């Protein structure tokens, strides 16, 4: 892949969802109605395909953009607190940008309750690349797209959410314990050295004062303003950002009334609709498993195996030399 070093190769799997769905349909029909019914179905589908081909050939010279069959590409993003899934998302997006045609649609099935600002900021920026490249972007949320998850979702041209999906939570939160009193009670001193008045504000082990807390709160407010500005940039014409940027979340139907989403529908239903008139492909990338991972070995065992493989040529060379010396005796 494009941005991974050769020591960590990534493989891309492409699934033609139309063919997969058709295969399941045929398997079910054969099991429930018999081979005769399946044969009739295939004949009807073949006839429909021939008719569609005739219509296409007649309108070939009309150059009507609506006659061009659109391709739909499906990506999955299952976000954790660090948004680590962006590692593969960026690769898939780079592949699409260099391959798909302008006007093609990318559907991202998004699930995330949010996490670190910089991680989800990068993930949202990756989705923005699709729109910059002239591709249509649809985000489908079946369960949750909150906080950083909604930051990603709001980039889309269209947000489709299941009726009880959790949407919103446009806010910022930070919490940490403080062990200063405990350390003091146990006669443990804690020292911290900084250069710059605000290099460090509140700490876990030091004593926090009102000025530290005020500065930290100011930083959270600044981050919140950035979040609101980002949402306003992509959906400002559809919703009242100040009204929804309270840190609250809403279920799908209420989110639709607030214009946080554009449609109530599951991702499965939406993709079935798109498959009626378009070719739909799902892209899944993953890091290739090592030999040790394929064998189910632990990380320590993998390191041991790797060292043994590295030393194998030297061992074979010594074995060959000893064999020759034994022949000379």
Q: Report if pTM > 0.85.
A: no
pLDDT of residue 2: 57
The architecture (CATH level 2) of 10-17+67-169+248-287 comes to Alpha-Beta Complex (3.90)
**How far, in Å, CA of 184 to CA of 281, rounded?**
61
Phi, psi of 168 (to 5 degrees): 110, -125
* Strand extents, DSSP E, the chain: 10-16, 71-78, 105-111, 136-141, 144-146, 158-161, 166-168, 249-251, 263-264, 279-287
**How far, in Å, CA of 130 to CA of 281, rounded?**
16
Tokens of 123: 């993930």
Q: Which helix (H) or strand (E) holds 87?
A: helix 86-97
Give the contacts of 257 (CB within 8 A, at least 6 positions apart).
none
**How far, in Å, CA of 79 to CA of 147, rounded?**
11
Residue 61, classed as helix, strand or coil, is coil
Confidence of residue 329 (pLDDT cuts 50, 70, 90): very low
pLDDT of residue 181: 93
- Mean pLDDT within 139-145: 98
pLDDT of residue 26: 82
Residue ranges of domains in the chain? 10-17+67-169+248-287, 172-230, 291-324
Query: Catalytic residues, which ones?
Result: 147, 199
pLDDT at 107 > cutoff 80: yes
- Mean pLDDT within 241-257: 96
pLDDT tens digit sequence for 305-317:
667 767 766 766 6
**How far, in Å, CA of 322 to CA of 231, rounded?**
72
């Amino acid at each position: 892949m494009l941005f991974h070093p050769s020591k960590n190769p990534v493989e891309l799997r492409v699934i033609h969802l139309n063919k997969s769905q058709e295969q399941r349909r045929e398997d079910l029909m054969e099991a429930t109605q018999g081979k005769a019914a399946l044969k009739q179905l295939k004949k009807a589908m073949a006839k429909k395909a021939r008719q569609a081909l005739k219509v296409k050939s007649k309108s070939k010279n009309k150059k009507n953009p609506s006659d061009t069959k659109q391709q739909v590409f499906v990506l999955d993003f299952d976000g954790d607190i660090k948004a680590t899934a962006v590692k593969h998302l960026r690769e898939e997006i780079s592949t699409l940008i260099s391959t798909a045609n302008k006007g093609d649609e990318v559907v991202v099935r998004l699930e995330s309750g949010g996490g670190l600002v910089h991680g989800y900021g990068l993930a949202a920026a990756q989705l923005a690349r699709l729109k910059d490249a002239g591709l249509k972007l649809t985000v489908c949320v079946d369960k949750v797209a909150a906080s950083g998850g909604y930051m990603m979702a709001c980039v889309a041209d269209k947000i489709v959410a299941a009726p009880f999906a959790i949407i919103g939570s446009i806010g910022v939160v930070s919490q940490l314990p403080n062990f200063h009193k405990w350390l003091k009670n146990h006669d443990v001193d804690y020292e911290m050295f900084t250069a710059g008045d605000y290099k460090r504000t509140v700490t876990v082990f030091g004593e926090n004062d009102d000025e530290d807390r005020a500065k930290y709160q100011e930083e959270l407010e600044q981050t919140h303003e950035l979040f609101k500005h980002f949402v306003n940039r992509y959906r400002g014409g559809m919703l009242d950002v100040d009204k929804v940027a309270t840190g609250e979340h809403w279920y799908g139907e209420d989110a639709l009334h607030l214009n946080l989403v554009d449609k109530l529908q599951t991702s499965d239903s939406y993709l079935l609709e798109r498959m009626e008139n378009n070719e739909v492909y799902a892209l899944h990338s993953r890091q290739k498993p090592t030999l040790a991972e394929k064998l189910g070995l632990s990380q320590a065992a993998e390191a041991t195996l790797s060292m043994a493989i590295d030393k194998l040529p030297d061992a074979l060379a010594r074995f060959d030399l000893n064999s020759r010396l034994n022949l000379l005796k």
